Structure 1
Amino acid sequence: MTRTTPAVVIAAPASGCGKTTVATGLMGALRRAGRAVAPFKIGPDYIDPGYHALAARRPGRNLDPVLTGEHLIGPLYRHGSASADIAVIEGVMGLFDGRIAEESPGTAFGSTAHVATLLGAPVVLVVDARGQSHSIAALLHGFSTFDSTVHVAGVILNRVGSPRHEEVLRQACEHAGIPVFGAIPRSDELSVPSRHLGLVTAVEHGARARAAVEAMTALVGRYVDLVGIAALAGSRVMADPWDAEEVTPVGGSATVALASGRAFSFGYAEHREVLAAAGAEVVEYDPLSDPLPPQTGAVVLPGGFPEEFVAELSANDVARAQIRQLAAAGAPIHAECAGLTYLVDDLDGHPMCGVLSGSATFTDRLTLGYREAVVVADSVLHSIGDRMMGHEFHRTAVSFADSYAPAWIFSGRDIERRRDGAVDGAVHAGYLHTHPAAHPQAISRFVAAAATSKLAPMSRLREEDGIPMSRLREEDGIQ
């Protein structure tokens, strides 16, 4: 067995303490110091991993035992950290915040502490020092002794007000017996814009996102003990790495167009890997400006922020007509969350693909949480009766004009049992996000459907499809 990459978990007492800044900056600073860094985020977050990828120059990945089960955390960690010198894992919310099981109220399933324990990795706590001095000793004592299975190995003091403030804080940390690995002064330079679902994604923030990551890297590199952090890192994972290649190829080939870019950036790195392992040629395209790739036999539309780019999406009538034609010809289409809103007739009054009869609107209500789902209609992804855990994360709502079979029925701790999405022919669309590593057979089934479907050639786009033929280029594979 190859060696297990050592890891350090960056956690905090609560949200808002600066752990994203510290974790992202630490990834960048360690990389700049010559180390190959594997970046991870605990939980179902799709935004932070984009900034992690900029800092580490490797794909940002998620570790979420709620979506994948505990048994896959070690294998997914080993897969994502292969060939790296060190892994930096950003936590979620407060260190012990997670899903409290009714049968075991002391267990915070899916919390940062839970994942750190599964990996056997040390935790460095990022503490917002504003308004604190000696009291920080009590806070550190509580967090370091609350759960004996969690090793709180150090602290990084954030937003320190002055040299005198730092001195007092260090004395308090010494009293608590917790080593200090850095003291970062208050800074107004590290502002990453936020919106209704959190930070603005790195891919759409562009040059400003890269500049923000560089500023985080410089700040952490200056004020954090990188050598000490690297020496502290460790892991006790003994499981074999997760391997997408274990998915059985379907025996045929298909080109799968994977939507990406500013409007569709919510996804897991493992999704593309499982698609490829199943035999698909995965080609990314940007629905804001691109036509579908040549020879497209299936389409994957992940989550994102289409409501922020609705006019541009609507203006790309070539891609919209191509997806409509593919759906009519029986091509498999898999849409999650934002992808669902792109497939209906309109989003906030702007014409979309018209594959599913219905309308999507942006609302003031955030829908967020884990869902236990059961499949109630056979589709290109699932069979009736399949069960899975998923996650909702959106502020849009969809009303269907026709009566479609739902993609699934799900429930959660804060919602009543309800229908989600639609299945129509080879189209499967819903708000629920699932992790592909937990359900590789669904991806294999999707690729098999793409490989065996009999599609009309893309060249049959006509004037009556609403697309002037002068808009279509020979190099796009449409003649």
Structure 2
Amino acid sequence: MPLNPPPDLPLNLPRLVIAAPASGTGKTMVATGLLAALRRQGLEVSCHKVGPDYIDPGYHALAAGRVGRNLDAWLVGEDRIAPLLRHAASTPRPADIAVIEGVMGLHDGAVGRGGFASTAHIARLTGSPVLLVLDTTAQGRSAAALVLGMQLFDKGIRIAGVILNRVGSDRHELLLRQALEEVGVPVVGSIGRSAAVVTPSRHLGLIPAAERHDEAERTVTALADLIEASVDLAAVRAIAGSAPELTAPAWDPAAEVERVASGVPVAVASGPAFTFSYAETAELLAAAGADVRPFDPTRDTALPTGSRGVVIGGGFPEVHAEALSDNAGLRADLAAFDGPIAAECAGLLYLAAELDGKPMVGRIQARARMTGKLTLGYREAVAEADSAVARAGERVHGHEFHRTVTDPAHGEVAAWRYAGDQGGSRQGFSVAGIHASYLHTHWAGQPSAAQRFVEACR
């Protein structure tokens, strides 16, 4: 069982969810700016993202000065959501407030599962009041009806305030405020159409902050300025402070796994090509006895000294394919490495023979290439064989998010066999100590993977 929360972490953690009726309304802009603005006020801010998204937490981390974390009920299970929130709010220092950015529209979750894993679902599980960001373009009094409908659709949540975005004029703002007053939802901020701060995007969404660090810091500063000028921060803090007592114990990686080794070196890919990872992965590996050692495949010419296992997560190897291919020293080191390797998505592409015609590591006999098709969604999968991360027949929850394909799509022994609406399809490769596939999993929802991997390294 998880340990009790640290005594210096109050049970009444102030918190709120930044949500919206739909994608593209400005949630990330508002959440990131709010994190930075609250930090300017001297607060320690814990930052969170609903869903499996890896990119937004990178901007959250820049704004808050601490690791961005995810809250996804599909990936980790409902029972772990509040404990993971408390863990994040106590690591590395107790937080004064927690800000949770939603995903898609407020009530959008896993397809066909009645809003499971939606922003509203996470708001219920954490008892967090909701601050709704409204795109008011071409909308007037109807905005109030929209907000009222969003509230009535799920009476288990509380929409405690609204931030108006893309407001056309002072008159437009007055009209909106009067309408929302009629339904009893306060307006705590108003952002004009000309005030937006643009963050560049590409084929899978925003460009990760790690790939444009200096520019990203300037973006975060501009967003903080915008929120300070447009939002009543005292009202936001009051809304966060109205959250009920959070009684869930803090998640503890040491309670999730057995310590099966001591200081076993495990290399974990990082750098601009491999920015997709959950902080809990490294925490679980360390709790199981690993000495986690980051390495950058675009620059480091060899694995960290003494590496006994390698974890290669997601990212954008297609964007950095030339640098990865040119680093022949590391490719040769990985080609000769005889320890266990766990690879997800970008890691799969890097281990392939080639990516868009450029030579890669060659541990997996497949060719990878970019396509125009986006593969996206939650998956339920069953391990096809014993590996360093799963037992044969073990069932896991994960997600896919890519625009590439491999030829072939799976090996003679696949990593996973998909269940549910994708039942029977095989995906990935399980061969010679390697477990590689497009499936992203969150090891907090599958902690045995970390313990099993360290055991294999040992």
The bucket for the TM-score relative to the shorter chain is over 0.9
The match for 2:381 among 349, 364, 373 is 373
Matches within 5 A, 1:285-434: 285-291=295-301, 292-326=303-337, 329=338, 331-400=339-408, 403-411=411-419, 413=421, 415=422, 417-434=424-441
Aligned letter for 1:294?
A: T
After superposition, the C-alpha distances for 1:150-207 in whole angstroms (9 at most, x for unaligned) are 1011100111111221111111111121011111112365111111111111101221
1:461 counterpart residue number? none
The match for 1:40 among 34, 45, 48 is 48
Aligned letter for 2:249?
A: D
Deviation at 1:404, TM superposition (A): 3.2
Structure 1: which 5+ residue stretches go unaligned?
Answer: 452-479
- Secondary structure of 1:167's counterpart equals helix
TM-score, normalised to structure 1, is: 0.90
2:62 counterpart residue number? 54
Counterparts of 2:271 and 2:178 in 1: how far apart (Å)? 48
Counterparts of 2:412 and 2:433 in 1: how far apart (Å)? 13
2:248 counterpart residue number? 239
1:205 counterpart residue number? 212
Matches within 5 A, 1:57-456: 57-82=65-90, 83-99=94-110, 101=112, 107-187=114-194, 190-233=197-240, 234-246=243-255, 247-291=257-301, 292-326=303-337, 329=338, 331-400=339-408, 403-411=411-419, 413=421, 415=422, 417-451=424-458
Deviation at 1:401, TM superposition (A): 9.8
Taking only aligned residues, the RMSD between alpha carbons, in angstroms, comes to: 1.5
Deviation at 1:437, TM superposition (A): 0.5
Deviation at 1:439, TM superposition (A): 1.1
Deviation at 1:100, TM superposition (A): 5.3
- Secondary structure of 2:378's counterpart equals strand
State the identity %: 52
Aligned letter for 2:283?
A: E
Counterparts of 2:52 and 2:276 in 1: how far apart (Å)? 10
After superposition, the C-alpha distances for 1:364-420 in whole angstroms (9 at most, x for unaligned) are 11110011100111111111110011100111111149943111101454x453111
Counterparts of 1:187 and 1:264 in 2: how far apart (Å)? 34
Larger Rg: 1
- Secondary structure of 2:318's counterpart equals helix
Deviation at 1:251, TM superposition (A): 2.8
2:33 counterpart residue number? 25
Deviation at 1:236, TM superposition (A): 3.9
Counterparts of 1:108 and 1:189 in 2: how far apart (Å)? 30
Aligned letter for 1:371?
A: R
After superposition, the C-alpha distances for 1:125-170 in whole angstroms (9 at most, x for unaligned) are 0001111121212112212222211101110011111122111111
Counterparts of 2:420 and 2:171 in 1: how far apart (Å)? 48
Counterparts of 1:318 and 1:390 in 2: how far apart (Å)? 33
Counterparts of 1:197 and 1:236 in 2: how far apart (Å)? 37
Q: Say if 2:340 and 2:453, in contact at 8 Å, map to a contact too.
A: yes
Counterparts of 1:220 and 1:141 in 2: how far apart (Å)? 25
Counterparts of 1:253 and 1:401 in 2: how far apart (Å)? 36
Counterparts of 2:269 and 2:196 in 1: how far apart (Å)? 33
Counterparts of 2:115 and 2:174 in 1: how far apart (Å)? 34
Q: Say if 2:411 and 2:430, in contact at 8 Å, map to a contact too.
A: no
Q: Say if 2:47 and 2:68, in contact at 8 Å, map to a contact too.
A: yes
Give the direction of change, closer, same or farther, for the CA distance of 1:188–1:137 in structure 2 (3 Å limit).
Answer: closer
Give the direction of change, closer, same or farther, for the CA distance of 1:109–1:379 in structure 2 (3 Å limit).
Answer: same
- Secondary structure of 1:306's counterpart equals coil
Give the direction of change, closer, same or farther, for the CA distance of 1:207–1:187 in structure 2 (3 Å limit).
Answer: farther
Aligned letter for 1:325?
A: A
Q: Say if 2:58 and 2:209, in contact at 8 Å, map to a contact too.
A: yes
Q: Say if 1:252 and 1:448, in contact at 8 Å, map to a contact too.
A: no
Q: Say if 1:7 and 1:235, in contact at 8 Å, map to a contact too.
A: no
- Secondary structure of 1:222's counterpart equals helix
Structure 2: which 5+ residue stretches go unaligned?
Answer: none
Aligned letter for 1:280?
A: A
Counterparts of 1:272 and 1:402 in 2: how far apart (Å)? 27
Task: Select between 398-407 and 23-32 the one with higher mean Cα deviation.
Answer: 398-407
In the comparison of the two structures, how many residue pairs are matched? 443
Counterparts of 1:209 and 1:401 in 2: how far apart (Å)? 36
Q: Say if 1:299 and 1:334, in contact at 8 Å, map to a contact too.
A: yes
